[in-house]
Structure 1
Amino acid sequence: MGIEEERLAEFFDEYAAALREFDADATARLWGLPGMIVTDDFAGALESRADMAAGLASSYPLYRRLGLESALPEILAVSALTDLISLVRVRWSYLDAADEVIVTTDYEYLVRDDADALHVYLAVGIDEADALQRAARTRGVDLDLFG
């Protein structure tokens, strides 16, 4: 029961590749619609690929200032909710050009195996805001510049 972990790993590797390229359109295609993002500071559903791409791209200026060159996903846990839906906890490690860890952050994703591919329908940011604040302080990046 549930989505095979190997398929989930391939899916999140594809997600990481899109993030490394700062390709919001490619990342948005990995989402089902509507897609919902929930963090301590934000909760919203995005109804279109264009809105999803714009929302995802809004974090790119900060990632660039922090020096993000690579993103590595590590699947920490998978809970099969049905044959086609799994809850997946992923730890993201964002690396700089020297392959030094800038920050690690955890997300919970609700992933569904649709007829054409796997898609994320819900992402819950566990600790991203705090982690990015710590990374910004360490790297001397002024977060006020990013709203």
Structure 2
Amino acid sequence: MNASTDLDTLTDFFDRYGVALTCGDLPAIAGCYALPGMVVADTYSFSFNSLAAVALSFVGAAPDYQDRELVAAHARIEDVQPVSALLTMVAVEWEFLDSRGHAVPGERYRYVLRTTSEGPVICTVVRTA
């Protein structure tokens, strides 16, 4: 098994993750993460050691998407870098679609993904500028 740099595999993964985010499917979101995992941003960082902790960290995301009337999320993959035999760093800009069909700019993140027998999982998320 090697780190996944295949754009189709990565696109499928982020499509699934985007659907889970906008639908508020907490078990599906949690299933996209490796344990332990970490989220890092300019003003905060946190780690989690259980799927329940991952799900809990996303409890507020779905209502936020609903308040902003965001109905779909698309990850535009900007860069893919193999890091090791099983790790890949992927730079993503999220683009959203609102309920009126308008594109809404999103945020940029770098994801460290681990390739498993079931596919990629997120080890670390870094919010970027």
Q: Fold conserved (TM > 0.5)?
A: yes
Alpha-carbon shift at residue 41 of structure 1 (Å): 2.4
Matches within 5 A, 1:59-98: 59-98=61-100
- 1:16 equivalenced with 2:21 (yes/no): no
RMSD: 1.4
**TM-score, length basis structure 2:** 0.90
Task: Write out per-residue CA displacement over residues 14-66 of structure 1, whole angstroms, 9 at most, x where no aligned residue.
Answer: 11121231112101101000110111222010111011011012222222111
State yes or no: 1:116 paired with 2:118. Answer: yes
- The question of 1:53 aligning with 2:61 is answered no
After superposition, the C-alpha distances for 1:42-94 in whole angstroms (9 at most, x for unaligned) are 20101110110110122222221111111111100000012311000011012
Please list every run of 5 or more consecutive structure 1 residues that lacks an aligned counterpart in the other structure: 128-147
3-state SS of paired residue (2:58): helix
Task: Give the equivalent residue in structure 1 for 2:102.
Answer: 100
CA–CA separation in structure 1 for the residues paired with 2:105 and 2:42? 18
Q: AA paired with 1:94?
A: F
Q: From the two aligned structures, give the one with the greater helix fraction.
A: 1
Select the structure that is richer in strand: 2
* Amino acid corresponding to residue 118 of structure 1 in structure 2: P
1:144 is aligned to: none
- Is the contact made by 1:34 and 1:46 (CA closer than 8 Å) also made in structure 2? yes
For normalisation by structure 1, the TM-score amounts to 0.80
- Where structure 2 has 5 or more consecutive residues not aligned to the other structure, the ranges are none
Q: Distance in 2 between matches of 1:104 and 1:5?
A: 20
Paired position in structure 2 for 1:26: 28
Measure the CA separation in 2 of the matches of 1:14 and 1:81: 23
